[in-house]
Amino acid sequence: MRRTDGTGLPGRSIAILDVTSLALATDAPDVRFDFAVGESAGRRRGEPASLEVRIDLEGAGPGGVPIRRSRYLVHPAGQRPMTATGIALGVERLLGLRGEAVAPGIHMPETLLDPAYAVERMTETGAYFIGAPGDS
């Protein structure tokens, strides 16, 4: 797996609920999640440990036009602000502070949250997206 600074890091494909959720939300026939742990680019620069998530998309867009995109979601302060934001967004929605209150039950984030709003809130905490090498 390539990091934002171009260095490699060994990873492994793992099964998590996000794979199933993403496949159902996008109707994608092939979704996988590769996970790697190691020294972050931020730490190698002498800064706090950062979070890097590489997102590679390949398939067909509207009208069947082939697409291939690679992006990194980066947070210079690591995983904690991302987790806290996700929890806050979920609670906000469940309590009806953004939209109507949700009926009791088991809910997945993709059924509760507007992706554009989630990205907006993540960027407010310091997260950002950058293109990955080979992005088209």
Residue 80, domain member (yes or no): yes
What's the whole-model pTM score?
Answer: 0.78
Residue 82, domain member (yes or no): yes
Residue 44, domain member (yes or no): yes
Residue 2, domain member (yes or no): no
Neighbours of 13 (CB within 10 A): 9
Q: Count the domains in the chain.
A: 1
Cite the beta strand spans of 1-136 per DSSP E: 12-14, 33-35, 51-60, 66-75, 128-131
Q: What is the mean pLDDT of each run of 10 residues along the chain (136 residues)?
A: 80 78 79 81 84 85 86 92 94 91 86 91 95 67
Residue 112, domain member (yes or no): yes
Residue 5, domain member (yes or no): no
What domain range includes position 28? 12-131
Residue 64, domain member (yes or no): yes
Residue 114, domain member (yes or no): yes
